[in-house]
Chains A and B, each alone.
Chain A
């Protein structure tokens, strides 16, 4: 079974600063994808960034980047130049090749003005 662990239930960052959210996962599969999703109070899941496991290069999306360490099964999210609108619940997610998602427990991010 796939398990996804987020060890930081809450994090805070000063506006314009950088914050890193941690995620580890466990799997025996070789073909999978990793994601970070943001869930604001509306509860709508918003895709932040994706990483294909077969790609060694770390994904980047504007102010968001990941540090993907496949051997260590680690997938952290770095948010640069944090903005007030970044405040939300962040979920790390593992997606199987058959499209099922398994989510971590989430990290609640607070951005301090």
Chain B
């Protein structure tokens, strides 16, 4: 079945550095992928829509210069958190639409836990 992977699963970085998170669709192509952010014991908040071959679309209130998204191929989207600060510490999840059986379905990655010291 369709699988979405994320790398790394955990990352710890120093304040001021940049961190890149990868999201891959393993056995299907995805022209769009989505990035979510989840704080502890809170909901998933949609950050942006990643579009292959074009610019990402950001949700209101999300800083596009802070969270750089690149959809390099039909199976890879990357989220780069630039000049990370402790308040950026969170759980980041990506997803991609695919097909399971006769249904269109959204496949979620396992998430990346970012800790900024």
Taking Cβ atoms with an 8 Å cutoff, the residues of A that contact B are 1, 42-45, 47, 50, 91, 95, 98-106
Contact = CB atoms under 8 A, between A and B. Distances in A.
Interface in B28-43: 32, 34, 36, 38, 42-43
Which secondary structure dominates chain B's binding surface? strand
B103 A101 contact: no
A42 B103 CA distance: 25
Contact of A43 (B42, B60, B91, B103): B91
Given A45-B108, A99-B97, A104 B43 contact: yes
Interface of B: 32, 34, 36, 38, 42-46, 49, 60, 91, 93, 95, 97, 103, 105-106, 108, 110-111
A54 to B, nearest CB: 14
A101 B108 CA distance: 11
A99 to B, nearest CB: 5
The 5 lowest CB-CB distance pairs between A and B, nearest first, are A45-B108, A103-B44, A103-B43, A99-B97, A105-B43
